[in-house]
Amino acid sequence: MNSHHLPAAPHHFAGGIHPADGKAMSASGTIRIPPLLDKYFLVIQQNIGIPPKLLVKKGDPVKKGQLIAEAGGPISVPLHAPTSGTVGDTLDIPGANGAPVPAVEIISDGKDEWCEPMEPYADWRNVSRERLLARVKDAGIVGMGGAAFPTHAKLSPPPERAIDTLVINGAECEPYLTADDHLMREAAQAVITGAGICAKILRISHVLIGVEENKPEAITALRAAAKGIRDLSVVPLHVRYPQGGEKQLIYALTGRKVMAGGLPMDVGCVVQNVGTLAAIADAVINGRPLIERVVTVTGSPVAEPGNFRFRLGTPVRKALEFAGGIRKEVRKLILGGPMMGFAQSSLDVTVSKNTSGILLLAADEVRQFEAGPCLSCGRCVEACPMRLLVSTLSKVCENERYDLADENYVMNCLECGICTYVCPAGRPNVQHFRRAKAELRTMKRKN
Amino acid sequence: MTNVILAALALAILGLVLGMLIGYTAKRFAVQTDPRIEAITELLPGANCGGCGYAGCADYARAMVEDGVSPAGCAVVSEENFQKISQALGQDSGKRERKVAVVYCSGDNGHARRVALYNGLNDCRAAAVLSGGGKGCRFGCIGLGSCARSCQFGAIELRNGLAVVHPEICKGCGKCTEVCPRKLIRLVSAETKAHVYCNSLDKGPAKRKNCTAGCLACRKCVKAAPDIFNAQGFLVRAREGAEISDELIASINCPTGALQSVADHLRSGKGKEGAA
Amino acid sequence: MEEKETVSPVPEQKAVTLPPDGSLLLSSSPHIRTSLSINKIMGEVMLCLLPAAVMAVCRYGWNAVRVIGLCMIFCAGWEMLWCKVTKQAQTVRDLSALLTGMILGLNLSPLLPWWLCLAGSFVAIVIAKQVFGGLGQNPFNPAAVARVALLVGAARPMTTWAELPSAFAQMDGVTSATPLTAASQAAAQHADLALYNSSDFLKNAFLGNIGGSLGETCTLAILIGAAGLISLKLIRLYIPLAILGTITVFVWIVNAAAPGLTPGPLFHLLTGGVMLGAFFMATDYVTSPVTNLGGVVFGIGIGVIVCVIRIWGSFPEGMSFAIVIMNALVPLIDKFCYKRPFGWNPVNAYQPRRGEIK
C-alpha cells in the first residue's frame, strides 16, 4: 500500500503561528562540503545524559572515525574523531548555552584517512535487531533534531510500552533552516533505509513520515525512494510552527494526544528526525560512525548562505568563513533556529551533533526589548500549542510566585517561543518560564 | 424632645449590652498563651526577615519559649534586647558573633570584560540561566542586582555593575547568600578587616583575560603572612577574623588589587588600577 | 549511499569579515518577534474610531471637536502629571491615555462643559487606571467608569443633548431626549411603541439621525470601525457577537412574553451605546477575559444587564453600567473558563495532578 492517496495530515493542533519563512535564502543549491580544517575542537558531551569517557590523551595518533571516548553509561554514546591526525589538549571552550564545556582538540594531518570501519551490514534485513541496536549505539548516534537524546535508548522503550508507530520528523518548522529539506532531497534513500532499520529494531511496520507542505521536492524524493515499501507513508503537513514539536507532530499524524508531562511512547509512538535516520543508515550499511552533519548557515548578513556538511568540532568562526563571511553588521549569532536557538557571545563555539543551524541576524532585524505590562490581550493564550494560560503564567513568574506557576502547568511549556513572538508588550516570557522551571526543579530536589 | 431622649437611651442601652457581651466573650473564649511569647516578640526587631529560619519574629518567639530554641539565631536584634531576651528566658545565651555579608568580587564595569550585551530579564538568576549575562568571568558578579533587591535593610549597593555590601547596615540575616546564583556572597565575622575580593577558580591567564582585578594567585600575600592567607589552587582566601592591618596590605602590594581592606573597597570601589 | 555531493572549491585566501568580539547581543530565544507594540495597537484602535469621530464632527461641529479634543488632552495630561508626581517613567507614550480620552469623548454629550471633561478624565485616568498600578492592572474599563461617575454625579449636564441640524421630524420638539429616554417614557405611560419599531425610525437610527452622545448615534460609522478592528486582527468577534446576540434574544423573549414593555430588538441594538460599547469598550484587552469562552460568558452577562437596566431600571441607558459590573466579574470568569493543557486527561492513570511537579 503506497501513500499517494492519503490526504494531508488530518488533524490540526490548536495554536501555533506562521512567522515569516526566511528559508528562501538557503533553499536553493545543494549541500556543500567544506575543505579540511587544521584543528577541530570536539565537545566531549554532545548528548543528554552521561558524558562519554575520554580514552585518548595528548599526542595520541587518531584516524578518521576512530573511537576517542567510550559511552559512560546506559544513557550515553561514544564519540569519534572527525579526521585523522593527533590528539591535542583537553581544554574548555564556550558551549552552546554559554557556559564553558570541556572539549578535546584534534590536530589534522591533512591525510583524512579512515580507520577500519565497523562491519558493514549491506543486507541489514537479515541482521538481528540486537546487532542493529548495538550498531546504533556504537556509532554514537543521538537525536539530531536538537534534543541529542541517545537514539539507542529511544529505540529500546520498556517492554510494557507497546509501540505501534514510527513517526519521522521531516517538518523543519523553524524559519530560516533548510538542512533537513536538503538532506531529504539529496539523501532520500538513506532516510528511507534508516526508517526501515528503526522499524525493524522496534519490531513494527507502520511508519509515518511528516514533511511540511512547503517542501514539495523533498516529498517527491521521499515518495520515490519509498516506492514499493509497505505501510510507509509520506504525509504532507500544514505549514505551521511548531509543527515539528513531538506532541504536535504525533497529534497531526495520528490524532493521539500525548498527555501533559508524558512521552511519545505513552501513546505507542517513537519519533525520530530525518537526520538521525540518515546517520543510522550510514552506520549500519557502511559501518561509519557519526562524525559530521548538515548545518544551515544563513541570515541576511551572510555572504553566501547555504547548507554545509560540517564535521563535528568545526568552530563557528571557520564555518562563517566557508560561507563567505559577513557583509553587514551582525547583531546576533544563533546556534539553531530563531525561535528556539541559543544566542552566542563567542565565535569559538563549535558544531555539535545537535547543531542544526548557524543563523546571523543583522542589526536592523533585531530590536532590544523593554518589557511592558501584560495587557491580557490573549494573543499568547490563543497561540500557545500546549494551550497554557500564558498571560497568567507571565504575571505570576514576574512576581516570582513559582507555586502559582506550577499550578498553571508551567512544566508543560515547550519553550517554543511563540508566546514571546506574538506579545505586543515585548515580555520575555520564555526566559520567565525557563527560570520558573529551573526554580521548581531545584525546589523539588530540595524536598 | 421625647424622641431624642428615647433614641439616645436606646443607643446607650444597646451599647452597654453589646459591650458586656464582647467582654464576656473575650474572657470566656480567651486563648491561653504564655505571656513571655508576646514580651519576647516585642523585644525582637520585628523585621520578619526569616534569617533565623522561622516564619517571622512571632514564630521565632514561640519557638524560643515552647521549644527552647536559642535566641542566638537572630542576627538582627540589638545587643541590649538580646540580653533582655536571654533574661526573660532565664538562660545565659552568651555572646553572639556579629556577621556581615561580603560579595567576593571586584569585577565592576571598569575591570571586568564584557563579552556580549545582555538584553533580557533584569535579574541575576534569570541571566545565569542564559550564559551569565554578558560578563566574561563565569564566577563573578553578574551585576543585575537580585541581591540588592532581596535585602530588606537596603544594605547592598550596585556600584558600576558590581554589588557592594555596606557592613554598617548589613544585619547578617543571610537572604542575599541564598539569592546569588553564583554563590558569591558569604557571611563572615564582622571583625574581618580585609578580604581577597575574588571568587574565580580559573587559571591565571584565563582569569586575566576576563577581569583585570581578579586574584592571580601569585602568592605574594601568602609568602608575606602564611598564617593569614591560604592559597587553594588558583585563588587565595584570607582567614576569617584575622587581623589584617593597612600596613600589611600596603607592604604586600597586591598586583591586581584583589586584596583590599573593607574600608577601601567601600570607599572607592577599587583603589588600585590593575597592574600591567 | 547514493548521495549527490558537491565539493565547494577551496576559497582563495581573501580577507573574510567576521563579527567583532563583544558586539553580539545575548538574549533568550526567540530571536525574532512580531512588529506589534502597544502604541501601535492603540494607534490602530484610534484609527478605527475615526469614522465615528468624523461623523460626530459633521453633525455637531465645533462642540464635538471641543469635547473629544479636551478629553484626549486632559487624559494625557493627568497621566503625565501622575507619572511625574509618583516619580515613574512617563507612560503616555503608549497612547493608552489618548485612546481612553477619545472613547470617553465619544461617550459624552457635545454640550458638556469643559470642567466636567476635566473631572471625567481625572476619574478615567487617575482613579480607574493609575491608582491600580497603571496599564494592565486596572480591573475596570476607564472610559466606562468615567461615564458612570459623570452620569451619577452630574446627571443633568450629562443628559442635556444637543439639537440636531436635521433631526427626525417628531423628535426636534424635545431637545433633551434621546430616543431611549423617549421610548422608556412612552412605555411607562403605556403609549404605543410602534413608532420605535418602524423602518423609517430604524433607518434613521442606523445612519445617526437621532439624538444621543457623540459617538453612539451613527451605527454605520461604528460598524465601519469595527470592520477595521476585525481586519487588523485587533479584536476577536466572540465578545461583541455575544453581547448583540444576547440583547436580541432577551428583548425578543420579553416582547413575546410582555408586549408593549419595550420596543423590539433592532431598536435596542441601534440606539444608545450598545454598538460603541460592544465593539470598542467591552473588548478592551485589560478588562475582558483572556479566553474565548470567557469572552462569550462576559458578553452574555453584559447583554442581560443592559436589557434589565433598560427595560426595568431607572436609567434609560445601561451599557456603561453593564460593562463596569461585568468587569468586576472578569477574574471569576477567568478562573472558571480556563483551558486545560494539551493532552490533559482526567481518566489517564499517568496524569500528574495539578500542582504536582513532574
pLDDT of residue C358: 33
Same domain, A362 and A387: no
Please report the pLDDT score of residue C354 as a whole number: 44
Residues, chain C, total?
Answer: 358
Low-confidence ranges of chain C (pLDDT < 70): 1-15, 163-177, 345-358
Counting residues of chain B whose pLDDT is more than 90, the rounded percentage is 13
Residue ending a domain, among A332, A366, A400, is A366
Secondary structure of residue A366 in the 3-state scheme:
coil
Instruction: Report yes or no on A135 lying in a domain.
Output: yes
Q: Indicate the class that CATH gives domain B35-89.
A: mainly alpha
Identify which of A67, A70, A66 has the alpha carbon closest to the alpha carbon of residue A52. Answer: A70
In chain A, % helix, strand, coil (3-state, to 5) comes to 30, 20, 50
pLDDT digits (tens, 9 = 90+) for B232-273: 888 888 887 777 888 888 888 888 888 888 888 888 655 444
C-alpha cell at A140: 554514537
Which cell goes with A42?
570536539
**What is the model's pLDDT at position B269?**
52
Pair (A139, A189) in one structural domain: yes
Do A357 and A389 reside in the same domain of the chain?
A: no
Do A136 and A15 lie in a common domain?
yes
DSSP letter, residue B13: H
Give the residue from chain A lying closest to C23, CA to CA.
Answer: A331
State the burial class of residue A163 (Cβ atoms within 10 Å of its Cβ: 0-12, 13-18, 19+): middle
Enumerate residues 420 to 439 of chain A having a beta carbon within 8 A of any beta carbon in chain B. 428, 431-432, 434-435, 438-439
Amino acid at C131: V
- Across the interface, of C21, C26, C28, the residue whose CB is closest to B134 is C26
Q: Please check whether residue A348 touches B, CB under 8 A.
A: no
Domain ranges of chain B: 35-89, 99-268
The span from the CA of A248 to the CA of A269, in Å, is 13
Per the structure block, which three cell numbers stand in for C156? 443633568
The b/e string for C241-259 (b: 16+ C-beta within 10 A; e otherwise) is: ebbbebbbebbeebbeeee
Please report which confidence band the pLDDT of residue B224 belongs to, taking 50, 70 and 90 as the band edges.
Answer: confident
Residue A335 pairs with which residues in a beta bridge? A342, A358
Q: Write a three-state SS string for chain C.
A: CCCCCEECCCCCCCCCCCCCCCCCEECCCCCCCCCCCHHHHHHHHHHHHHHHHHHHHHHHCHHHHHHHHHHHHHHHHHHHHHHHHCCCCCCHHHCHHHHHHHHHHHCCCCCCCHHHHHHHHHHHHHHCCHHHCCCCCCCCCHHHHHHHHHHHHCHHHHCCCCCCCCCCHHHCCCCCCCHHHHHHHHHHCCCCCHHHHCHHHHHHHHHCCCCCCCCCCCHHHHHHHHHHHHHCCCCCCHHHHHHHHHHHHHHHHHHHHCCCCCCCHHHHHHCCCHHHHHHHHCCCCCCCCCCHHHHHHHHHHHHHHHHHHHHHCCCCCCHHHHHHHHHHHHHHHHHHCCCCCCCCCCCCCCCCCCCCCC
Contact A81, A106 (CB under 8 A): yes
CB atoms within 10 A of CB B209: 14
pTM for the full predicted model: 0.84
Among positive and negative, which fits the CA dihedral C321, C327, C332, C335? Answer: positive
Q: What's the confidence (pLDDT) of residue C175?
A: 47
Residues of chain A falling short of pLDDT 70: 1-10
User: What is the Cα–Cα distance from B63 to B179, expressed in whole angstroms?
Assistant: 26
Torsion of CA B44, B45, B47, B52, to 10 degrees: -50
C347 touches chain A (CB under 8 A): no
Q: Which chains touch C (3 or more CB pairs under 8 A)?
A: A, B
Q: Which residues of B touch C23 (CB under 8 A)?
A: 117
Residue in B113, B117, B121 closest to C26 by CB: B117
Domain count, chain A: 2
Q: Which of residues 17-46 of A touch C (CB under 8 A)?
A: 19-20, 30-35
The answer to whether A49 touches A73, Cβ cutoff 8 Å, is yes
Which residues on chain B are in Cβ contact (under 8 Å) with A346? 115
- Establish whether this prediction's ipTM goes over 0.90: no
Beta bridge partners of A86: A61, A107
B118 at interface of C, judged by CB pairs closer than 8 A = yes
Does any CB of chain B come closer than 8 Å to the CB of residue A102? no
Are A123 and A244 members of one domain?
yes
- Residue to test with chain A: of C24, C35, C96, C286, most A Cβ within 10 A: C24
Q: Is residue A41 part of a domain?
A: no
What pLDDT score was predicted for residue B268? 67
Cell of B143: 551585576
CA–CA distance, A267 with A262 (Å, rounded to integer): 9
Contact A338 C1 (CB under 8 A): no
Question: Which of C324, C350, C334 has the alpha carbon at shortest distance from C138?
Answer: C324
**CB atoms inside a 10 Å sphere around CB B42:** 12
Does C286 sit within 8 Å of A375, measured CB to CB?
yes
Q: How many CA atoms lie within 13 A of A199 on its CB side?
A: 22
- Tallying the residues shown for chain B, one arrives at 276
Q: Is B119 on the interface with A (CB under 8 A)?
A: yes
pLDDT (tens digit per residue) in A109-130: 988 889 888 888 888 889 898 9
Do A256 and A318 sit in the same domain of this protein?
yes
- A237-271: pLDDT as tens digits: 888 888 888 888 998 998 888 877 788 888 899 99
Q: Are residues A297 and A253 in the same domain?
A: yes
Does residue A442 fall inside a structural domain?
yes
- Residue ranges of the alpha helices (H) in chain B? 2-28, 35-43, 57-62, 79-89, 124-129, 146-150, 175-179, 204-210, 220-224, 246-252, 262-268
The residue ranges of every structural domain in chain C are 38-157, 165-336
In DSSP terms, C273 is beta-bridged to none
Q: What are the backbone angles phi and psi of residue A438, rounded to the nearest 5°?
A: -65, -45
Report the distance separating Cα B128 and Cα A346, nearest Å: 17
CATH number for the domain whose boundaries are B99-268? 3.30.70.20
Q: Cβ(C208)–Cβ(C219) under 8 Å?
A: yes
Distance CA C107, CA C339 (A): 35
Q: Which residue segment(s) compose the domain that A250 sits in? A: 1-34+117-366
Q: What is the pLDDT of residue C348?
A: 52
| Kind of pairing between the strands at A330-335 and A306-311 | unpaired
**What grid cell was written down for C67?**
469635547
- Whether the pLDDT of residue B56 is over 70: the answer is yes
- Grid coordinates standing for C237? 468577534
pLDDT of amino acid C106: 93
Strand, helix or coil for residue A417: coil
Interface of B with C in 20-59 (CB under 8 A): none
Q: Judge whether A164 lies within some domain.
A: yes
Nearest partner of A241 among A322, A326, A152, A174, judged by Cα:
A174
Of A417, A420, A424, Cβ closest to residue C37: A424
**Beta B156-159 vs B162-165: how paired, if at all?**
antiparallel
Q: Which residues pair with B211 in a beta bridge?
A: B112
Q: What is the CA radius of gyration of chain A?
A: 22
The answer to whether position A1 is within a domain reads yes
With contact defined as beta carbons under 8 Å apart, do A372 and C39 qualify? Answer: no
Cα of C136 to nearest chain B Cα, Å: 19
d(CA C293, CA C275): 21
Does residue A373 lie within any of the structural domains? Answer: no
Nearest to C177 by CA among C311, C251, C271, C51: C271
